[in-house]
A and B are shown apart, each in its own frame.
Chain A
Amino acid sequence: MPQATPVVEGLFTDTANGPRLTGSRCAGCDMPYLPVSALCHNPDCDAPDLQPAEFGPWGVIWSLARQDYPPPAPVKFDEPYQAYAMAVVDLDDGLRVLGRVATDDPESVDVGQRVELIIDTLAHDEDGKELSTWKFRVVEQGAGA
């Protein structure tokens, strides 16, 4: 099995404790950043430095969307095209982050569901190499908005 390549380097990693998103957190105001940020962009914060931070794996679906038609470049997908679900997830550690939802049934995904961060196949490049990204997997039905 060839090793999957992250579609973009440096945004996620598989740790001993499982998948995590890799960004930064402000030492002054605790603001989370993904991707890594060199400076805090909170206008009310003048802390001098940000620390490396990991985010995930638990969160709640704030909202979601279904991609019912094949999207334009640079979005990546394998043929034949299958509609996918993506979610706006509020992670327990304070990051609101986008991600695809790993599911065969996009219609079953809903607002308020509890999710877990995973690393999964995004698509294959022109040489057949597997590209990976972070996604969310529903672990618990939710109570809506």
Chain B
Amino acid sequence: MRDVAVIGLGMHPWGKFKDKSVGDLCRVAVDQALADAGVAWREIEGVAAASSRFSGGRGWGLNGNDVVDDLGNTGVPVYNLSAGCAAGGNAFNVGWSMVASGIHDVMLVVGGEKMPKGFIQTSGVEEVTDPEYLRQVCVGMPGPAFWGAMCRRRMAKHGTTEEQLARIAVKAHANSVHNEWARFRKEFTLEQVLGSAMVSYPLRLFEICPVSDGAAAVVICSADIARANSRRPVWVAGSAVATARFDDGIPRGLAGPVPAHGEAYHSEAALAVEKAMAMAGVNPPEVDFMELQDNTVFYELSFPEEWGFCKPGEAEGLMEAGETTPTGSMPINPSGGFQSFGEATTAQGIWQVCELVTQLRGDGGGRQVPGAGVGLAQALGLGGNGSAVVMRSEL
């Protein structure tokens, strides 16, 4: 396998843009990424794109083909990857795999999305063979209630308080003020978060990410090309995808077996993170910061524990001591996270890579993690899809 570098990044800011198409958003991100990389569109040898259910793609998830049509058809191969909200992460993994294995030398990885209003409805398939449909019709557990149940278990086990949950949102928004790409660039007080509407106890409106429009793109290439052409390469130390294990206890459908361990954890995320970290040859103490998928503040507590960054029940204390801020010992989501961006689902995994590159280049400004040399990003999607990437500032 060859070493792979990210040499260019581009983003359209996250928000709601009723007068722009998803193609408009992607074009901004791709043009920036090409310019940042110093690479012409004709030099791109392959496109890995996240397939969207919500916008573009002609109903078939052909979002990469939309981008190629827009930039100009060069005959370039397109790989459209579908993995729910992990699609951006999966597309990055496929792009990395193809450059690392020598099939292509320079690739574009892109994801963009315009989301419909409201919380994401689950599968959208209305038939009794679909477990998500059964779950909604017979019980009625939309996404926020699922997160509520996961969080409620933690409260019972570790005594997590509503105030601690709110403090995570306050931390996220304090970071977002320094991020020009974030949708909500505004500080929130503890009182404002605790005063927001209860969505599914114990989770409040300002503790759950809304949906957004946005697009992100990166240019990746082989080490030889990066060294010859790029002033500012950032290196992919490990990239992995995984799917969920049979026995992880997460109530994804209507029912499953009670696992031997009794608890529930997102095995697809843990497996991807473990694989990416093993490939990079790093352990938690060597990771300087992480961008994790905080659809809800709860995940800032559970994920670091599930990945071995701290012991079960320690995450609240670390957060309260400020260790998860950019200047702490375990910085989480210096970007401001999904809390500050909202979720343009299939663009998220690529936006996370953009944040890793920004931090590892030292371009984080007011949200910079001091001396950041190794970063981890993780995405999670419907269907039990997980992705992770570890990046380094130096090989």
Residues in chain A within 8 A of chain B (CB atoms): 7-8, 11, 21, 23, 31-35, 41-43, 62-69, 71-77, 84, 86-88, 90-91, 94-100, 110-112, 122, 133-134, 144-145
For residue B190, CB closer than 8 A to chain A, the reply is: no
Minimum CB–CB distance from B379 to chain A (whole Å) comes to 24
Say yes or no: A71 contacts B152, CB within 8 Å.
no
B228 at the interface (CB under 8 A from A): no
Q: Which residue of A lies closest to B132 (CB)?
A: A74
Q: Is there contact, CB below 8 Å, between B255 and A95?
A: yes
CB contacts (< 8 Å) of B118 on chain A: these are: 72
- State whether A43 and B134 are in contact (beta carbons under 8 Å apart), knowing that A32-B255, A65-B141 are contacts in the complex: no
What are 11 A-to-B residue pairs whose CB atoms are below 8 Å?
A35-B134, A62-B264, A63-B149, A65-B148, A72-B121, A74-B136, A91-B258, A96-B249, A96-B255, A98-B139, A111-B153
Top 3 nearest A-B pairs by Cβ distance?
A65-B148, A111-B156, A63-B153
Q: For A43, give its contact among B246, B249, B254 (CB under 8 Å).
A: B246
Query: Interface readout for B32-43 with A: 1 if CB under 8 Å, 0 if not?
Result: 000000000000
Given A88-B251, A96-B255, does the pair A75, B137 have CB atoms closer than 8 Å? yes
Known: A34-B255, A75-B142, A88-B251. A8 touches B134 (CB 8 A): yes
Binding site for A on B (CB under 8 A): 118-119, 121, 126, 128, 133-142, 145-146, 148-150, 152-153, 155-157, 197-201, 246, 249, 251, 254-259, 262, 264
CB neighbours (8 Å) of A84 from chain B are 140
- Bound together, the chains give a CA A134 to CA B135 distance in angstroms of 12
Contact B139 A74 (CB under 8 A): no
A7 touches B140 (CB 8 A): no
What residues of chain B lie closer than 8 Å to A72, measured between beta carbons? 118-119, 121, 142
Which residue of B is nearest A41, CB measured? B246
Report the nearest B residue to A60, measured CB to CB.
B258
Residues in A whose Cβ lies below 8 Å from that of B255:
21, 23, 32-34, 95-98
CB-based contact B198/A68 at 8 Å:
yes
Question: Using Cβ atoms and an 8 Å threshold, which residues of chain A touch B262?
Answer: 90
Selected from A43, A65, A68, A74, the residue in CB contact (under 8 A) with B133 is A74
CB proximity of B160 to chain A, nearest CB, Å: 11
CB-defined contacts of A35 to chain B, threshold 8 Å: 128, 134, 254
| B152 and A96 contacting across the interface, CB-CB below 8 Å | no
**Bound: A31/B260 CA distance, A:** 12
Given the complex of chains A and B, what is the CA–CA distance between A60 and B150 in angstroms? 16
Q: Which of A8, A41, A42, A84 is the most central at the interface, judged by chain B CB atoms within 10 Å of its CB?
A: A8
B258 and A74: CB pair below 8 A?
A: no
Could you tell me the distance in whole angstroms from the C-beta of B267 to the nearest C-beta in chain A? 12
B145:A67 contact, CB within 8 angstroms? yes
Apart from A71-B140, A98-B139, A112-B156, 14 more pairs, CB < 8 Å: A21-B255, A34-B255, A63-B153, A65-B148, A75-B136, A76-B140, A95-B255, A95-B256, A96-B251, A96-B256, A122-B138, A144-B156, A145-B153, A145-B157
Q: Which residues of A contact B152 (CB under 8 A)?
A: 63-65, 111
A88:B128 contact, CB within 8 angstroms:
no
- Complex Cα gap A8–B134 (Å): 8
- Supposing A86-B139, A111-B156, A133-B138 touch, asked if A68 and B257 sit within 8 A by C-beta, the answer is no
Contacts A65-B146, A65-B148, A67-B200 given: A86-B140 contact, CB under 8 Å? yes
Specify which of A94, A110, A144 is in contact with B257 (CB 8 Å cutoff). Answer: A94
A99 CB contacts on chain B under 8 angstroms: 139
Q: Assess whether B201 is in contact with A68, with CB atoms less than 8 Å apart.
A: yes
Most buried by B among A64, A87, A98: A98
- How far apart are the CA atoms of A32 and B254 in the complex, in Å? 12
Q: How near does chain A come to B140, taking the closest CB pair, in angstroms?
A: 4
Note all chain A residues with C-beta closer than 8 A to B133.
Answer: 74
Contact A74 B257 (CB under 8 A): no
A65–B201 touching, CB < 8 Å: yes
In the complex, what residues of B have CB within 8 A of residue A43's CB? 246
Chain B residue numbers with a CB within 8 Å of A69 are 197, 199-200
CA distance A145 to B249 in the complex (A): 15
Cα distance, A94 to B249, chains bound together (Å): 12
Q: Which of B140, B142, B153 contacts A100 (CB 8 A)?
A: B140
Return chain B residues, CB-CB under 8 Å to A74. Answer: 126, 133, 136-137
Taking each of B152, B155, B157, B251, which has the highest tally of chain A beta carbons within 10 Å of its own beta carbon?
Answer: B152
